[in-house]
Structure 1
Amino acid sequence: MKQIAMITGVSRPNGIGAVICHKLAAEGLDIFFTHLTSADIYAEEKNYPQQLTKELKNYGRRVADLEVDLTESNAPNQIIEEVRRTLGDPSILINNATFEAPANLHNLSGELLDRHYQVNNKSTILLSTLFAKNFEQAFPGGNHGRIIFMVSGGPDPNNLAYIATKGMLKAITPPLAVNLAPLGITVNALDPGPTDTGWITASLQQQLLPLFPAGRIGQPIDAANILSLLIKEEADWLTGQVIEANGGFMGK
């Protein structure tokens, strides 16, 4: 069947989401992506989603996008309805969208926790279950469905809310994989480790470099390459896993 991939959180050219879009389009998939450039503090070009659409169409693929705020309760339904309206029924969902704001002992608040939860958990998990329900109806007895959560971790004392909510995605990966296996959908989580998508300053780069045995910091294409492997038919037997593909990062 012709595969349609959904990628959330695509707002800047050096982000993991954009590189995933390019990678999968080059491999023959139609692409639907979501974005909210105004919420991405590292996005320098506000019209990038329109530019990306043109770039992806150059691969000969069908492409559609949606600007959507994942803090809105109806966002998951909007996304599923729009991808079906514009391209058709999707078989791949890459949950790349995220919210992150520094939070430690002194500034962690209920409001900050709620915002992390709304984007990183509530909308992401509901979108995943809506995707699975649609897949079940569109492809009865089908297979090669994919859900991938982009996750993170580590004992960073200034990222309490972010790491806590990403931990929830790690926790739901095994049981959701068991739930969706009869439908032909695999569910995995990918932790690419520190990846240079615009947030790594020169000084931070010098701190991180010695922790990468390969002598370089992770790039978005590294994550995209792993995702490309996970969506292939040969990966049907890989599900329920939290995969750390971080180049052997030795940081804590």
Structure 2
Amino acid sequence: MQNLNGKIAIVTGATRLKGIGAAICKELAAKGAHIFFTYWKTYDVDMPWGVEEEEPANLQKEIRSLGVKCEKIELDLSLEDSAVHLFDEVEDRMGRPDILINNATFSVNDTYETISGEALDKHYAVNVRATTLLSSEFSKRFDKGKGGRVINMSSGQALGKMSGEISYAITKGAVETLTYTLSSVLMEKGITINAVDPGPTDTGWMNDELEAEIAVQFPLGRVGQPKDAARLIAFLASDEAEWITGQIIHSEGGFSK
């Protein structure tokens, strides 16, 4: 059993209770980690799934009920100074973190016919720049000798085409490059960095018809659940995973693209 007692974990993009970010927070907390999560309701309000005003507060209450500390901040990660601001807040309110989960994502469908510079920039700002600067800031401040963990979220671009999500696909592809590019230099500081591709996951964006259509592509006849990704991330955050770094792990339940 992975033991994260006393570790401090940052999880970005945990706005919605049905999301992967919330599942990660709860899984890490259940294993003893203190949680500091970010959220940004402005993005989710404009998405088809939406978000309720009290979801971040309710998530915080649920995490605290597990017997760990939990703090949160509403933060626009597309702003260039957000990484420094976040780590200053975490250190001031909880201490120096051990774990960084770059879960926050910007995603709007586009094709070669509809892509625009503005949309591409929005994807880049969150998916690439924020993930890179957060990873950099975490690593620069980490001075514990070992046990540092950075875990990014991928989407399996290397396994199949995503021609209907060009901006998302190419920026998430850059996250995979970042992951293995940083792996050796961060290992010298006692930090591992890996990326997780959870495959199609029911976080509230699927209607019943779409879920049924996708489920037949899984050997078990079901789509991924947020807890599936959260369990893997909890393992990668643990001491048991200290020899795993620079990996893109496709945890897709046998999904056939």
Q: TM-score, normalised by structure 2?
A: 0.94
Note if 1:10 corresponds to 2:14: yes
Q: More displaced, 112-121 or 42-51?
A: 42-51
Note if 1:205 corresponds to 2:208: no
Note if 1:144 corresponds to 2:147: yes
Note if 1:37 corresponds to 2:41: yes
Give the superposition deviation at 1:124.
1.1
CA deviation vs aligned residue, 1:111-134 (integer Å, no higher than 9, x gap): 111110000000111011100111
Decide whether the 8 Å contact of 1:170 with 1:189 is kept in 2: yes
Query: Could you tell me the percent identity over the aligned residues?
Result: 43
Q: TM-score, normalised by structure 1?
A: 0.96
What does residue 92 of structure 1 align with?
A: 99
Q: What does 1:47-126 correspond to in 2, within 5 Å?
A: 47-126=54-133
Unaligned runs of 5+ in 1: none
What does residue 169 of structure 2 align with?
A: 163
Decide whether the 8 Å contact of 1:11 with 1:43 is kept in 2: no
In angstroms, what is the RMSD of aligned CA positions? 1.0
Give the superposition deviation at 1:14.
0.6
CA deviation vs aligned residue, 1:105-156 (integer Å, no higher than 9, x gap): 11101111111000000011101110011113xx2xx211100001112312
Match of 1:93, SS state, is: strand
Aligned pairs, number: 247
1-side partners of 2:6 and 2:80: how far apart?
Answer: 30
1-side partners of 2:37 and 2:50: how far apart?
Answer: 16
CA deviation vs aligned residue, 1:137-190 (integer Å, no higher than 9, x gap): xx2xx2111000011123122100001000000011112011100110000000
Match of 1:146, SS state, is: strand
Match of 1:70, SS state, is: coil
Note if 1:176 corresponds to 2:186: no
